[in-house]
Chains A and B, each alone.
Chain A
Amino acid sequence: MITNDHKGGHGNVLMVEHLRKTFDSRHILEDISFSVNKGEVFGLLGPNGAGKTTLIRTILDIFRPDAGTISLFGRTFSDDIKDAIGYLPEEGSLDKEIPVSECIRYFAELKHVDAIDRKMDEWLKRLDLTEYRNKKIQELSKGMHRRLQFILAVIPQPDLLILDEPFSGLDPLNIKTLKDILLDLRDKGTTLIMSTHQMDEVERMCDRILMLNDGKMVLYGSLDEIRRQFGLSVEVRYEGRLPYIDHILGINDYGNTAELIVEKDADTQAILKTLAASVTIRKFEVKQRSMNEIFIEVCGR
């Protein structure tokens, strides 16, 4: 367990500076710098192959960086720091031939968890897996298997919890349960780093994000800042033929509904007037750009 001295008080839990990682002369990560604050939910975004998993593995000291530094809780990586980090990988299955309780005990012992039985029972109950305590892992469904993996990640009561696609393979009920637990952990001081493709979850949960594309940082900051940076969008339901409109960056026109992507400082009232002069407007809604749109725009360039 990391002491308060080592946690760096209320400052950064993770600080990455000018990180570079190369495999076989191929740059997987290039000049990555960011920090994660204590108690925040940090989103790690990017398309497949962007370098997210490599970045997580490097943070976990599974890979060593070619250049740059990583500090966790204000110091460089060491074995006791590993015990303070929980990790839920996106893929990988647990040993199917052993009982659930034995699997939890094994991974808990590796993280020097105390009172394993009590904590095991608590988490099994919370994740609705109590009746599977003594059953072999091969008897679990995919969703149960994912919940068990989640227990393994959280049972050490980590100060930093890194989750790679935490909601994959889960039904909406389980997603809600997991989300509630994650927010509860955050409220209790656990810092969360969440790598995901589900942008709606990012919008609901994350305070700040880092978006990678081709191993490079393409977006970094708070969600509000980033959304402001990308301007607004207007959803219009109309009858008639759309006119030419100034200060519009792009239009997704579906015939009677259109999504207008407007410039950052555009006057939406002026756009409404222009539209009203040409078509019958049934709906006019100004909203911030969604993370999904931003993701497609940034990574699809």
Chain B
Amino acid sequence: MTAKSLVVAKFEFVKTVRRKGFILGTIGLPLLMLFVIGLTLYTGAGIGTGGTNQTAGYIDAAGFVQAAPGFVQYSDMAAGKTALVKGDINSLLIVPPDYISTGTLTVYTMDNSLLGSTGSSQSVQEFMTKNLLQHENVSDQAAQKILSPVSPTVIVLDEAGNPKGDQKIAGFILPFALTMVLAIGILTSSGYLMQGIGEEKESRRGEFLLSHCSAEELLAGKILGYAGVGLLQIAVWVAIGLIVIAASPFAAFFSEIQVTGLVCLAIVYFVLGYFLFSVSIACAASLAPSVREAQQVSAIFSMFAVFPLVFLQFLLSDPNSLLMQVLTYFPYTAPFIAMVRLTLVTVPPHEIVVSIAILVLTIVILIRLAARIFRMGMLSYGKRVTFREVWGFLKEK
């Protein structure tokens, strides 16, 4: 890495993160998602949650429903309907005399939205379950356990019957999440990288840049700069996610995550995978005659990122199958398949060593070839480069 590469990296990074599209995608998108989730939760809040406008009424013809906060009893249908129309209650629950035998209920509501109706049903279910349990003389403590069962502690064993690595589910989440982050990182950063190179080629700027620095320096700087862009975006998303998690009831669950060998391996695959895809996409983009064609070519590489999803069924049913072993050795699928396999089963260490060795070797070979392809590709203006020409580029001294 030379000083010129760092200048290129800084320039590309600053230029991209200042773009409105980046700011909108990085901060606006998760905020929009949070807003939608929040709105859904707010509007989907069920009856009986304590708020004055969330109060429900009921008419108990079966004679076993007991008073509960947020629920108001009405003696007859007319009084209940009047309260509902006036807005004193937001739903009216009719418990018929034969409820115990039929389980049939009727809910009157002024809210015809899907979310409102769903929320009401869930709350009604909880309200009626509580009353039924009390009716059957189940203790409050037992009723509480039935309504909110404790999360089970899952211990995963390896083939020898010993607990495998982290015994907590949370221990598997981080490597799996890193795999997903790698996939997202590749998709986003490769998009910026491809667009940057495509624009430079279309505007015939490559020649001028190559008179200032070597192709190797330019390529390294671009990969570094756009990697920074992608990582910044991921970091912001992760930070927003962590803040949301910390404020949610799942905070304790995630606090169990510890940095283990698996996590370290995930980071190794992340770095190698990122580098492999960046170099490949940079070459592909430099060979494409236009930004649009560059997008099509880079989509091929992006497809590898979703391989774990494509092969999810095979992965889950037999993570050590021959197909999965082959995909673990293939450099473009290794970062994703290997990591998912590692979270599911004990992968033989030699497979991981060979997989990482192939990845490193591929990157070394690509770096040697990429600069030549990139240099010549950037200067092939407005035409589709043939395989013969690429072969000619590779033979360049």
Contact = CB atoms under 8 A, between A and B. Distances in A.
B211 A92 contact: no
A215 interface: no
Contacts of B199: 95
B8 interface: yes
Contacts of A63: 396
Nearest to A98: B15
B29 interface: no
Interface string A4-25: 0000000000000000000110
A63 B375 CA distance: 9
B389 interface: yes
Contacts of A92: 203-208
Contact of B203 (A61, A93, A109): A93
For the residues of B in contact with A, the DSSP-based class is helix
Contacts of B212: 82, 107, 110-111
A179 B203 CA distance: 26
Please tell me the size bucket of the interface on B. Answer: 20 to 34
B379 to A, nearest CB: 7
Contacts of A97: 15, 19
A70 B209 CA distance: 21
A149 B212 CA distance: 13
Interface in A50-99: 57, 60-64, 79, 82, 85, 87, 89, 91-95, 97-98
A87 B206 CA distance: 13
Contact of A87 (B8, B15, B211, B379): B211
B49 interface: no
B45 to A, nearest CB: 45
Contact of A106 (B7, B379, B392): B7
Interface residues of A, number: 28
A276 to B, nearest CB: 57
Interface string B205-231: 111101111100000000000000000
Interface string B363-397: 00000000000010001000000001100100011
Interface string A100-114: 000000110111100
A62 B392 contact: no
B204 A109 contact: no
Chain A CB count within 10 A is highest, among B3, B11, B212, B375, for: B212
A85 B199 CA distance: 25
A61 B206 CA distance: 13
A91 B205 CA distance: 8
B275 to A, nearest CB: 23
For the residues of A in contact with B, the DSSP-based class is loop
A62 B203 contact: no
B379 A57 contact: yes
A213 B168 CA distance: 75
Given A24-B388, A97-B15, A106-B11, A79 B214 contact: yes
A24 B204 CA distance: 22
B396 A64 contact: yes
Contacts of A106: 7, 11
Interface string B135-155: 000000000000000000000
Nearest to B218: A110
A6 to B, nearest CB: 19
Given A24-B389, A97-B15, A110-B7, A62 B375 contact: yes
A174 B199 CA distance: 29
A82 B205 contact: no
A62 B7 contact: no
B208 A87 contact: yes
Contact of A62 (B204, B205, B207, B389): B207
B210 A60 contact: yes
B392 A23 contact: yes
A76 to B, nearest CB: 13
Interface in A142-166: 149, 152
Contacts of B211: 60, 62, 82, 85, 87, 89
Interface of A: 23-24, 57, 60-64, 79, 82, 85, 87, 89, 91-95, 97-98, 106-107, 109-112, 149, 152
- The list of the 4 closest CB pairs from A to B, nearest first, reads A92-B204, A87-B211, A110-B212, A64-B397
11 contacts: A64-B397, A85-B211, A92-B206, A92-B207, A93-B204, A93-B205, A95-B15, A106-B7, A107-B212, A112-B3, A149-B208
Interface of B: 3-4, 7-8, 11, 15, 19, 199, 203-208, 210-214, 375, 379, 388-389, 392, 396-397
Given A95-B15, A149-B208, 18 more contacts: A23-B392, A24-B392, A61-B214, A82-B211, A82-B214, A87-B211, A89-B207, A89-B208, A89-B211, A91-B204, A92-B203, A92-B207, A94-B205, A95-B203, A97-B19, A110-B7, A112-B3, A152-B208
